[in-house]
Each structure stands twice: as structure tokens, then as C-alpha cells.
Amino acid sequence: MATAEEIAKAADRRDVRNRWYLTTPALLTIFFAAVGPLAIVLVYSFLTPGPYGDVKWQFSTDAWVSVLFERDIFDDTLSLAAAHISIFWRSVKLAVITTLATLALGFPTAYFMATRSEKTRDLWLFLITIPFWTNLLIRTFAVLQIIRNEGIVNTILLKLGIISAPIQILYTDVAILIGMAYVYLPLMVLPVYASMEKLDFRLVEAGYDLYASRWQVLRRIIFPLVKPGVIAGSILVFIPAIGAYVTPSVLGGGKNMMLSNLIELQFGQGRNWPLGSALSITVMFIVMAALLVYVRNAGSQEVRHG
């Protein structure tokens, strides 16, 4: 006769087996929808490009070499691919600046929303989410109409006599930055607001009672308590910003390419699918590295302050 301990172990095994059975459909869906395509891209990056696109099933590491280097057509020597490095630097730089810009704009916005009455908070939250109701391309074209040479900004400045000729904003890195900051601002505001809403503002009053300045209250009380929302918002902004395609294409005009535009070029006109695949995996590694560094630093700061 089985003992109570054996019966309990058998019940645990059945429970674990049933859980695996229940999660199998979800795991298969994740594999075929996410891991499967990613595995195909990884395999393609080690193949040889075909003459008209597609790939030849011949193993090659040329695509990975071409990510950072270019081969001379005469003596076959390698040198740094200045164009690729410039695009990498522009993408990372604009993604970081966009994250900082949305944080600078989103943090006070979230604080303002969190300090309103409960009746009006929902209204402000509704207004923040309105841009999500509109297609990204339409929002980007709206920014284009504002910053182009005959747009609202230049027209107002000319009418006021502040400038004598239109400022060339469109088709520059500044235009891309403005567009991405506008598009991704709600992704920063919402997580910060979610953390700010839970903040006990009696702690802020206590800080003022102890003669702390506004800056000290912000740095020592408010910011540490809402840091999880800041981290979440930064992640939500940085990831799509570094892989942005529509905004750089429209506002950059093809002159200021980013990683997504370079990848699209390889799969399209370049007809170099292995290089496009290698660049795609490289972008994924950059995002993963940035997230690991950011989260680890944030965690170590929490340990030091906690």
C-alpha cells in the first residue's frame, strides 16, 4: 500500500504534468510566432545572398563581417564600414535622446495628472491616450506639416519677424527626434503616471516640513519611489525608437537613415538577405545589452538606497 508521502508526490507529478499539458498550446504558439521566425533570420545570416534576392544554401560569415566592415573590390582587404557605423551611432544616439526627451516631458506631465482630483484624472488620462487612436503614419505626417519650411512653426516665426528665412528642420536628425518624441511620449507618460498615482504625497509634505527644497524632495523622495515607472517607460520608448522605420523615413527623407531603414534596404533594393538578417540580429543584441545594463544599474541603485 502506498504511503501518504508517495501519494502526495504522485499528486504533485500529476499536477506538474497537467500544467505542462495546459501550457503546451501557448508555448507552441510562442515558438512558431516568435522563436521560429527569429531562428529563420539567424540561419539566413549565415548563408550566401542570391543574385535576385533570397539566399543560397551555402554557409558563409560574410554577412556578419559586412555589419561593421567592408571589403575592397580590388585587393579584397577589410576596412571599417563608415556608413554602417554612422547609421548605428545615429540610431542609438537618437533613441537615447528620444528617451531622455520623453522623460523630461513625460515626468512633469505624469506629476500634473497624479496631483489632480480623482474626477479629472480620467479626463487627462483620456487625452493622453487619444494619439493612439490615430495611425502612426498620419501622426508622422502631421508633424511634417508643422515643421516643414512652409509649416506652422516657420510661418509663425516669419510673421513675428524672428527669422528672415525658413529654418530647415525637415529631413534632419532634429526632425526625426521631434517626430519620435511626439510619437512615443504617451509610452513614457502612462507608466510614470501609474507609479505616480500610487505615491503617498504625505511623504512629500513631510519633506517640506523638514525644510527640504523642491529639488531635494524631487531627488530624494519622489524620483526613487516612481523609479519603476521611469524604468518601464524608458524601456517602452527606447526599444521602438531604436527600431523606428516610419518616422525616420518620412521626416528623414531617406537622407538620415536609421537601422530599420538600412535593414529594409538590404531586403529590398540591396537584395542581400543575409546582411539584412545579420543587421536585424545585431539590433536585437543592442536592445538586449542596453536593457541589461539599464535594469542592472537601476537594481544596484535600489540596493544602495534601500
**Span 70-89, average pLDDT:** 86
Cβ-Cβ contacts under 8 Å for 203 (sequence gap 6 or more)? 221, 225
pLDDT at 115: 87
Mean pLDDT of the chain: 87
E strands, the chain, are 48-49, 55-56, 69-71, 78-80
pTM, to two decimals: 0.83
Q: What is the pLDDT of residues 124-150, one digit of tens each?
A: 988 888 888 888 999 999 999 999 999
> Is the pLDDT score of 304 beyond 70?
no
| Cell numbers placing 24 | 503546451
Could you tell me what percent of the chain has a pLDDT over 90? 40
pLDDT at 300: 58
Angle at 79 between CA 76 and CA 82, to 5 degrees: 135
> What's 50's DSSP letter?
P
Q: For cell 513675428, name the residue.
A: 160
Q: What is the pLDDT of residues 213-238, one digit of tens each?
A: 888 888 888 888 898 899 889 999 99
Q: What is the pLDDT of residues 145-204, one digit of tens each?
A: 999 999 999 999 999 998 888 999 999 999 999 999 999 999 999 999 999 988 888 888
**CATH superfamily ID and name for 82-305:** MetI-like (1.10.3720.10)
The C-alpha torsion from 171 through 174 and 177 to 178, rounded to 10°, is -90
Q: Please, where are the H alpha helices in the chain?
A: 4-30, 36-44, 62-68, 82-114, 118-129, 136-147, 152-159, 173-197, 202-209, 214-217, 223-225, 227-242, 246-252, 259-267, 273-305
CA distance 68 to 88: 10
Distances (CA, A) of 113 to 178, 197, 205, 254: 23, 8, 18, 38
Please spell the DSSP secondary structure of 250-269, one letter per residue.
Answer: HHHTTTS--HHHHHHHHHTT
The domain limits of the chain are 4-79, 82-305
Q: What is the pLDDT of residues 233-267, one digit of tens each?
A: 999 999 999 989 999 999 988 778 889 999 999 99
